[in-house]
Amino acid sequence: MNILMPNKYTEKALQESRRFGVKPVPPLRPLGWLARGWADMTRCPGPSLLHGLVLALLGALIFLLGRDRFWLLAGAFSGFLLVAPILATGLYAISRDIELNRQPGLHTVLNAWRPHDGRLVVFGVLLAFAGTGWVMTSASLITGFAGVPILKPLDFLRHVVLNEQSHLFEIWLALGALLAAPVFASTVIAVPLLLDRQIGVLGAVFTSWRVVMEYPAPVALWAVLVMSLTLLGMATLMLGFIVVLPWLGHASWHAYRDLVDTSGLTRND
């Protein structure tokens, strides 16, 4: 009997996902998401930039605590980036209020973070497990093939990144991309959907995958833009995160609204 339970849950999630239509978008639409995300951020700058400041300080704290411990730093940063869609929940709520002609503010963010149900918590835990899996896989690869102990970030730079006698860094990047792709596909619209509508976590993930499979070109461009802006934020010693993270959060809301047809379905308020 227990063996059949996952199939029942999966079928229920598929039925939930089918309630949402997927809307066609042109390949360059992600640029429009960035433009509308920027407009939302400038319309409600206080809570948006405060969101970014808190996340930038969290990133800086991670770096300070792990700067001499490579695997601690790698694990913490991986987890931080993977759960970023959950951390942007308040930004989605601000963009939703703007869309509904409400007056968003700090109260909007606080209300979004108030625990109404456990779906976002469950999703955040799953993302944390994914981050842990990547760090363990990464550690096994580097430890097994680097040839020398990798204990500090400088060791990784010297013996992996700058090692011209080995292709370990290229393999490490390819493996990271291979593992990151399904995580991105599972989250690209899932968290805004969970915030906005009544749907289970697995149903939201299935909807996200439908979007990716039906319109891979704009989603691929969106992934490149997200990664590029994230790297830009990291390159500025996390200061860029103050603007980049809220900008991407608001833009992600517009990605969800452009890609998923939720007409006729009850909104979470």
Give the residue among 252, 258, 260 at the shortest CA–CA distance from 38. 252
The pLDDT assigned to 238 comes to: 85
Please report the pLDDT score of residue 6 as a whole number: 56
Tell me, what's the pLDDT at 269? 66
Instruction: Give pLDDT < 50 ranges for the chain.
Output: 1-5
Question: Is-contact 90 47, C-beta < 8 A?
Answer: yes
The whole-number pLDDT of residue 1 equals: 37
Q: What angle do CA 217, 223, 179 make, to 5 degrees?
A: 105
Q: How far is CA 93 from CA 1, 24, 117, 160, in A?
A: 41, 24, 16, 42
pTM of the model as a whole: 0.88
